[in-house]
Structures are given as C-alpha cells and as structure tokens.
Amino acid sequence: MRWLPESIPPAAPMLRASLILISALCLPLFSACSSGLKEMTDAEKLDYYGESCMRYYDMHAFDRAIHQANKGLQVDPDNEFLLLVKARCLLFLNKTETLEAAHNILEGLLKTEDFRVFLVAGEVAERRGLIRQDSAGDIESGNTYTEAADPRARATELRAAARNMWTSALDHYSRAEKIFPGGTEALNGIMRVASLLGDDDQCLQAGRALLQSLTESTLIQQRKIEELRNTESSSWKVQRAVFANQEVMIATHIHLSELHYKHGRKEAALLELDGALKLDDSLPELHARRGQLLLESGDAPRAQQALKQFFRLTTLDFDHPDVVRARRAMRKCEQLLGGLNPASGGPGGG
C-alpha cells in the first residue's frame, strides 16, 4: 500500500486474513511400509494420514498435504477434518481451479457448526470474487481477450458475480463470528468484505471490534510472557503471537483512517494514525500520512514535524513518488510558516 497518495483510493482488499486451523499435535510420521499400512485398522490409517497431512501443511507443502488428505479420504470419503484441511490447502495454492475445487468441498461442509469451515469458506468466496473483479478490469482495459459478443456486458456480468460471492463471504464470516464471538479472523474478514462491498459503516464497526478483540488478546499474551519468564518454558511462540496481533492492529488503524478520510472526517483519520503510531512509531509511512493530514487540516507546525520524522526514517530513493510528494508537502509547510528557502538543499529542496 502506498502512503501519501495524491488521493485516497477506494478501500482495497487488505489484511489478508491469517486463518489458523486448530488441529491435533502433529506427531512424527510413522515409519510404516505399505504392508504395515495394510495391517492397520481404518481408524489407524486415518490417524496416520491425518498426521502426515498436517505435517506437510505446517511445512507449507500444500500439494503433499493434499496428497495425504486424498489417501485418507479413500478410507473415509466423508471425513470432515481431512476435507477441511484439503480445502484450506487448495485455498493457499490460490489458483482459479484450486479455489473452485475448495468451494465445491466446502459446500458439503457448511451444514456443520465448525466455525473454521465458515472462515475458510469466507476466504474462498472472497478470493473467487477478487478473481472475477480482476478479470472484469482486464477485459475493460483490453488486456484480456473474451469470446463474449459484448465485452462490456461480460465485464458487468463478472462484477455482478464478484459482488454475489462477496455477499456469500460476508455471510460465512458473520456465521463464524456468531459461533465464535470476537474471533479476530472472522472480524478481519467481515471488515475486508464489507469494504469490497462498499459498506463503510459495517467496515468501521467490524474494524473497531477487531481492534478491541486484538487488544484483549495481546493483554492475555503479555501476561503469559510474564508468567513464562519465571519458568523453563520458551515464550517465543507467545511473543510471535503478540507481534502478529500488532501488525494486524496497525493495518486496521490505517484502513479505518482511510475510511474516515474518504468521508471527510480528518480528525478521526488522524486519531487512527495516532493509534497505529502508539503501536510502532518507527514506520515512516505513518509519519508521512500523518504529515499530509495535518497539513490539510491547517496545522503546518505539526505537519512539518511529522514530515521531518518521515525523512529521518525513510530508506526510499530520493526520486521515489512518496518522497517527492513528501518534499512538496514540506515546501508547503515552509511557505505557510514563512520559512521557505528556495536554495535549501535539505528535504524541502528538489
């Protein structure tokens, strides 16, 4: 995402959800040969293939995970756990054909009350819609050939299909949040899809709920870290969860800031940026965006300070568009403050 844009673009898909499938502990793979497998009971085979599948899943070897899931499904074609993991792996492969295959699998699982099914179904529907939206844009721009007699009508048809899929995604995410209230993955998905559908009010509502849920989760994780410091247990997994929460919270603050800006609520947009900076004030793009908003609000002194901080932190090239825009904003600040020096060689020059 680019900061200091000439104008704030419509809310785009973001914060790609980091969905976590709750599973049994992955034990070492059995060293059984084919004859050993034949001697196993069906239940033992399912355990073996399930553990193998999850081992490959954790390694992000999704093709291999799918292969193991398929072997287990030969034993029990209706095994919901293996079907769900297979659908999740197909989602991660993120191809048109794998997303369609995942969609077909999930259609048969939606009768369950497992919130994970609805999380995966939501993201599959979301991405299927994005593919159709992108295809519509490519047809309209002439980058993609279509056999349709009326390319514009075909693009309109694809955009309508995308909206239908996003509506389904919103239903799935909402169902997941109802089953597991306060779930961050579901709230994240609701925020993204509401943005895609242009429902800014629902997007803001979900974003606020997401920030509250992540804040509560972070407090719990921090208490765990304190407890683990007095034991021999490693706290690195808990610390990683805290960092992950922080990244999502920063991205959410930025997204809500853009929505407020879109509706002319500059003060609210600034408050969201301030919330992100409290989490991490080392991100130059936050200072740049804050400087622009302060300048537009007529607060040249604070805008100048924010832009100076951007220049101190940024590693972008001198001619990068964001740096060029920041230099223009800095010159505007200097003009308003009566301190413009055309011969200056500092950040305001150029």
As a residue count, the chain comes to 350
Let me know: does 193 contact 166? Beta carbons within 8 Å: yes
C-alpha angle 86-88-94 in degrees, rounded to nearest 5 = 110
> What is the residue whose two structure tokens read 């999850």?
54
Does the global pTM surpass 0.85? no
Distance of alpha carbon 242 from alpha carbon 219, whole angstroms: 9
Which tens digit of pLDDT belongs to each residue from 270-313? Answer: 999 999 999 999 999 999 999 999 999 999 999 999 999 999 99
Nearest to 291 by CA among 332, 252, 259, 256: 332
- Distance set, CA 286 to CA 1, 148, 150, 292, 310 (Å): 12, 45, 44, 10, 8
Angle between helices 236-262 and 284-296 (to 10 degrees): 20
Which tens digit of pLDDT belongs to each residue from 31-85? Answer: 444 556 668 899 999 999 999 999 999 999 999 999 999 999 999 999 999 999 9
Which tens digit of pLDDT belongs to each residue from 209-244? Answer: 999 999 998 888 888 777 776 665 566 777 888 898
End-to-end Cα, the chain, rounded Å? 25
Chain centroid to CA 35: 45
